[in-house]
A and B are shown apart, each in its own frame.
Chain A
Amino acid sequence: MIVALAGNPNTGKSTIFNALTGMKQHVGNWPGVTVEKKEGEMEINGTRVKVVDLPGTYSLTAYSLEEIITRNFIIEEKPDIIVDIIDASNLERNLYLLTELLELHSKIIVVLNMFDEAQKKYNIDVDLMSKILGLPVVPAVGIRGKGIDELKEKILRGKFNPKKVEYPEDVEKRIEKIEEKIKKLGLEPARWYAIKVIENDVEVVKKIKDKGARDILHLAEHLRHEIEDIYGDDIESVMTSFRYSFAHGLFHEVAEPINVGGVTITDMLDHVITHKIFGIPIFLAIMYLSFQFVFLVAAPFQDAIDLLFNGKDAAGGHIPGLVDLSYNWMLTFMPDWLSSFINHGMLRGLGAVLTFTPVIMLLFLILSFLEDSGYLARVAFLMDSVMKKMGLEGRGIIPLMLGFGCNVPAVMATRTLKDENERKLSIALNPLIPCGARIQVFAFLSSIFFPSNPALVLWSLLILSMVVVFFLGYIYSKTIFRGKSEPFVLELPPYRMPTMKGISIHMWEKSEGFLRKAGTIIVGAAAIIWIFAALPWGVEYGSPDSYIGMFAQWIAPIGTAFGLTPEAIISLIFGFFAKEVVIDVLYVLFGSKDAILASMTWAQAYSFMLFMLFYTPCVATLAAVYNETKSKKFTLFVILEGFFLAALFSFTFYTIFTLLGVGA
């Protein structure tokens, strides 16, 4: 048996889904798109039931991906029962989706979720509603697990005798005419197809055209014009009005308002949070504190993991970590190269994955909190007019800001954007934001090469990256990532106190996928880097005699055009693994600060930093990019984009400065 959950966004659909399936769930993507698909399983009195969570939608038109996915699933997969999760505190608007569902499916269970909040606004007569609709209606409070048992029981034994959403006589007459013809085509449900073809629904029209039934299209067009003439408005307005008046009528019949007017808590909070003057400073402060919290709390965990794996250089010599210990232990029963490969290659890679874990989990903890509480929608409201210029909605600012911390969770955070094109645009831009690791390297190099004013140098790089991101966003949104420019109609839900359980589940869902899939990619890349750094046999690890070193020598003539020394190139190659490693590599190759200072002119050093600012994202970021887009082409695009910008800026800078003869 298959049960599908449908409903508006923000109605507690995930909460109910989790309550039904517990931890038995699986998160993937709908075929071919980046929209999340959640499936789970439950058992009711020995009957196994598969639960599919459909995307949250306000209606079932053919204009958004989520809505098309939802209705196609219902038509093609024919779930046995649809559970429509309704936010009972916002009954009228939520009932509209029910009117659309009623035309698609006959077995619908209506869940009146958020019944606790609804009771503060009106008295709802649940039995009357059930009688009018001819469907089971279950009041529920998802966060407290109330109503879940009754819902399960109705899934097994509910009685369905659904009421038809009726249109006025002169419309019904016309629907019937088309319906007869649709039946002959064998399309089910015929009435729904008839209504949609009259409404000029692009997908349905296409489907009928593919079946070669042009006569139906002609007839429908004729009838459409008749209806438009009778009611004096366009067909979509007319038909939507009829369905809404069904919802409106039902709402007023079953719900009696208790309290109208008056100031709500949400209204008071919004007075401050979206305040003309304080709104944006408050947003910046919340972001700053959130990041501070994440990186402060994560730091000791990261250090501990790093210590555990890699040990530490102390005054009394090197304290061995897991990698060294395991390496030495394996030496007792396997050859040196194999032990080195397993430990210096793969185990160290695993360590790298694990050091990312605390940041990722904490960031998603905060992000889920901001999202569930309703604050993220306010961010969209506050920042929209800035982000709009670069082709993103207001929430697009969050992944960009996160990027200054770490690009990996930032790329994953693009999931807060609902539009597919905006997500891709946002993912393509994110690696260009210098993460904490890069900033650390810049700070280090600036202090060596520009001791008089390192902050200014660092600042120039940050400003450059922001300018580039902004302009590239502007250009991309007008060219390769030009969306259908989906309208940005955003609901501002009431503020709610998120539950610990809800947040932890969200956090786990988001982190788990990364750790499993991206983890394998990172460990694999670590192993490959090891091979090139340790071969040919017998050379010192990562030295100019290794394959990486040879490659650096070979490419050095090209590097000179950018002011890059062979050592700088080697460090950049290792930087692909993790950007902060660049400093370590330079230290290993040169031995001291003074030697590093002597190896480059300041113009070369700045050019090196420019190159490092943009060239390929680190392997973990690439893994995240791939994990989010599931596209090798897109991942490659992100790499090439980085190299192009890196080459462009460092070449231009270096050429100008050598021509001017300064810093040479």
Chain B
Amino acid sequence: MLLSELKPGEYGIVKKIGGSGAIHRRLLSMGLLPGAIVRVVRISPLGDPIEYEIRGFFISLRKQEATNVEVDKIVPLSLVPGNSEVRVIFIDGGVGFVQNMGAMGIAVGKILKVIKPCCPMQVQTDRGIFTVGRGMAYRVFVR
């Protein structure tokens, strides 16, 4: 789907940056790259532009410009309701963090079962049942 189609509060992971010339380059240099996580923050009162959070900072894009970005909708683990199964898409953090999560069986591609929703939440992985804190659950993205 297109970035412009996400609603406030929703997350996406960038698949491809389209467009050409200035807009293409500008989006890339702001860090909108394949694999980056974007959150829709809010829409301007007049319907356009839209505010997004990316890599910890905030930018505003006109709808027209946001149609150049292809995304997949994802959800941070912290927002997943109880009793549902999800697949891990992305873990946002350095090598250490990814390793720690891996030790609990939370790694890209793995299936998790949420037993108790956030926070703290309990999830069942292929390595057992673990308690995941809010800070961690925020940085694991699933679908």
Contacts and interface: CB of A to CB of B under 8 A. Distances in A.
B33 A252 contact: no
Interface string B26-38: 1111110111000
Given A63-B25, A253-B94, A274 B42 contact: yes
B49 A487 contact: no
Contacts of B23: 487
A276 B44 CA distance: 7
B1 interface: no
Interface in A66-97: 90, 92-93, 96
Contacts of A237: 16-17, 28, 33-34
Interface stretch (B99-107, B121-129, B134-142): B134-142
Interface in B21-64: 21-31, 33-35, 41-42, 44-49, 51, 55-62
B65 interface: yes
Contacts of B34: 233, 237, 241
Interface string A471-502: 00000000000001011111111000000000
Q: Which of B17, B24, B57 has the most CB of A within 10 A?
A: B57
B138 A260 contact: yes
Contacts of A241: 33-35
B65 A93 contact: no
A385 B48 contact: yes
Contacts of B49: 381, 384-385, 488, 490
Q: Which of B16, B26, B134 has the most CB of A within 10 A?
A: B26
A275 interface: yes
Contacts of B109: none
B59 A491 contact: yes
B93 interface: yes
B73 to A, nearest CB: 20
A490 B46 contact: no
B27 A63 contact: no
A63 B26 contact: yes
B22 A484 contact: yes
Contacts of B27: 487, 489
B56 A90 contact: yes
A29 to B, nearest CB: 23
A270 interface: yes
B44 A274 contact: yes
A384 B48 contact: yes
A385 B50 CA distance: 11
A413 B78 CA distance: 45
Nearest to B16: A233
Given A61-B25, A63-B26, A382 B57 contact: no
Contacts of A240: 28-29, 33
A543 B81 CA distance: 86
A419 B97 CA distance: 42
B57 to A, nearest CB: 5
Contact of B60 (A63, A234, A492): A492
Nearest to B46: A385
A381 B47 contact: no
A244 B33 CA distance: 9
A259 B45 CA distance: 30
Given A90-B56, A90-B57, A240-B29, A260 B22 contact: no
A98 to B, nearest CB: 13
A contact residues, range:
35 or more
A93 B60 contact: no
A489 B28 contact: no
Interface string A234-254: 101100110010000000110
Contacts of B94: 252-253
Nearest to B21: A63
A386 interface: yes
Nearest to B54: A93
B31 A93 contact: yes
B59 A58 contact: no
A380 interface: yes
Nearest to A240: B28
A388 interface: yes
A59 interface: yes
B42 A487 contact: no
Nearest to B63: A385
Interface in A256-296: 257, 259-261, 270, 274-277, 279-280
Given A64-B22, A492-B51, A236 B28 contact: yes
Given A237-B33, A261-B134, A274-B45, A487 B65 contact: yes
A489 B135 CA distance: 30
B38 to A, nearest CB: 13
Contacts of A260: 135, 138-139
B48 to A, nearest CB: 4
A104 to B, nearest CB: 15
Contact of B47 (A380, A383, A385): A385
Nearest to A122: B56
A252 to B, nearest CB: 3
Contacts of A275: 45
A274 B38 CA distance: 20
Contacts of B25: 59, 61, 63, 236
B45 A388 contact: no
B86 to A, nearest CB: 19
B90 to A, nearest CB: 13
B55 A93 contact: yes
Given A385-B48, A492-B58, A92 B31 contact: yes
A252 B97 CA distance: 10
Contacts of B30: 58, 93, 489, 491
Given A252-B95, A260-B139, A280 B45 contact: yes
A434 B138 CA distance: 53
Contacts of B45: 274-277, 279-280, 382
A573 B135 CA distance: 70
A151 B27 CA distance: 32
B39 to A, nearest CB: 11
Contact of A93 (B41, B57, B61, B135): B57
Q: Which of B16, B29, B49, B65 has the most CB of A within 10 A?
A: B29
A257 B16 CA distance: 28
A-B pairs, top 3 by smallest CB distance, nearest first, are A252-B94, A59-B29, A487-B23
18 contacts: A63-B25, A93-B57, A236-B24, A237-B17, A240-B29, A241-B35, A260-B139, A261-B134, A270-B41, A275-B45, A381-B44, A384-B62, A385-B44, A385-B49, A484-B22, A488-B65, A489-B26, A493-B58
Given A121-B56, A381-B44, A490-B59, 10 more contacts: A63-B21, A234-B24, A237-B17, A260-B138, A275-B45, A377-B60, A385-B49, A386-B46, A487-B22, A491-B30
Interface of A: 58-59, 61, 63-64, 90, 92-93, 96, 121, 233-234, 236-237, 240-241, 244, 252-253, 257, 259-261, 270, 274-277, 279-280, 377, 380-386, 388, 484, 486-493
